[in-house]
Amino acid sequence: MTNQPRRPRVLYLSFYFPPSRASGVYRARATANYLAEQDWDVTAFAAPLRFLQEVAGSVDESLAETVDPRIRVERPQLNHFKWEHDLRRYGRFRRTMPVTARHLYNATQRIFPEHYASWGGNAVAKALRIHSRRKFDVVLATGNPFASFAAAWLFNRITGVPYVVDYRDSWTLDLFADKPHYPDGHHAWGWERRILRHASAASFVNEALRSWHAERYPFAADRMIVVPNGWDPELLNEVGGAVDTGKRSAAPTPLRFSYIGTVTGRQPVEEMMAAFQAARRHPELADAELNIYGHLGFFQNSQSALLDRLGLTGGADGSQQGIHYRGPVAKSQISQAYADSDALVFLAGGARYVTSGKVFEYMASGRPIVSVHAPGIAATEVLSGYPLWFNANSLDPDRIAQSMMAAGKLARDLSPDARAAARRHAEAYTREKMLKPLEATLRSLVSNSTRRTRDPHR
pLDDT 10s digits, 21-66:
887 899 999 999 999 999 999 999 999 999 999 888 778 888 899 9
How far apart (Å, rounded) are the C-alpha atoms in residues 457 and 285? 73
Asked whether residue 93 is domain-assigned, the answer is no
Asked whether residue 2 is domain-assigned, the answer is no
Cβ atoms of residues 300 and 57 within 8 Å: yes
**Looking at residue 240, what is its pLDDT?**
39
Same domain, 278 and 389: yes
Asked whether residue 109 is domain-assigned, the answer is no
Cβ atoms of residues 259 and 53 within 8 Å: no
Same domain, 283 and 221: no
Q: Which residues pair with 391 in a beta bridge?
A: 371
How far apart (Å, rounded) are the C-alpha atoms in residues 299 and 53? 10
Indicate if the alpha-carbon torsion angle 210, 211, 216, 222 is positive or negative: positive
Cβ atoms of residues 326 and 353 within 8 Å: no
pLDDT digits (tens, 9 = 90+) for 379-394: 999 999 999 999 999 9
Asked whether residue 40 is domain-assigned, the answer is yes
Asked whether residue 141 is domain-assigned, the answer is yes
CB atoms within 10 A of CB 349: 18
Q: How far is CA 421 from each of CA 229, 367, 388, 427, 442, rounded to the nearest angstrom? A: 21, 11, 9, 10, 34
Range of the domain at 20: 9-78+116-229+431-454
Same domain, 325 and 395: yes
**Looking at residue 320, what is its pLDDT?**
60
**Looking at residue 329, what is its pLDDT?**
83
Same domain, 314 and 417: yes
End-to-end alpha carbon distance in the chain? 31
How far apart (Å, rounded) are the C-alpha atoms in residues 200 and 161? 10
Same domain, 164 and 21: yes
Same domain, 252 and 151: no
Total domains in the chain come to: 2
Same domain, 181 and 280: no
Same domain, 241 and 212: no
Strands 163-167 and 138-143: parallel
**Looking at residue 458, what is its pLDDT?**
40
Q: Supply the DSSP symbol for 285.
A: G
Asked whether residue 200 is domain-assigned, the answer is yes
How far apart (Å, rounded) are the C-alpha atoms in residues 108 and 94? 15
Could you tell me the pTM of the whole model? 0.87
Asked whether residue 1 is domain-assigned, the answer is no
Same domain, 123 and 189: yes
Q: Supply the DSSP symbol for 231.
A: B
Rounded to whole angstroms, the maximal C-alpha distance in the chain is 78
Asked whether residue 144 is domain-assigned, the answer is yes
Q: Which of 87, 86, 44, 30 is nearest to 432 (CA)?
A: 30
Angle at CA 207, nearest 5°, toward 204 and 211? Answer: 90
Same domain, 297 and 365: yes
Q: Which residues pair with 165 in a beta bridge?
A: 141, 202
Same domain, 48 and 177: yes
Block means of pLDDT (10 residues each) for the chain, length 458 residues? 77 97 90 98 97 86 92 95 72 76 75 93 98 97 97 98 96 89 94 98 96 97 96 68 43 83 88 95 92 80 74 56 86 84 93 86 95 92 94 96 96 92 94 96 87 48
Same domain, 221 and 307: no
CATH of the domain at 250: 3.40.50.2000
Angle at CA 307, nearest 5°, toward 229 and 350? Answer: 35
DSSP string, 5-21: PPPPEEEEE-SS-TTB-
* Phi and psi angles of residue 326, each rounded to the nearest 5 degrees, phi first: -90, -5
Q: Which of 170, 181, 226 is nearest to 201 (CA)?
A: 226
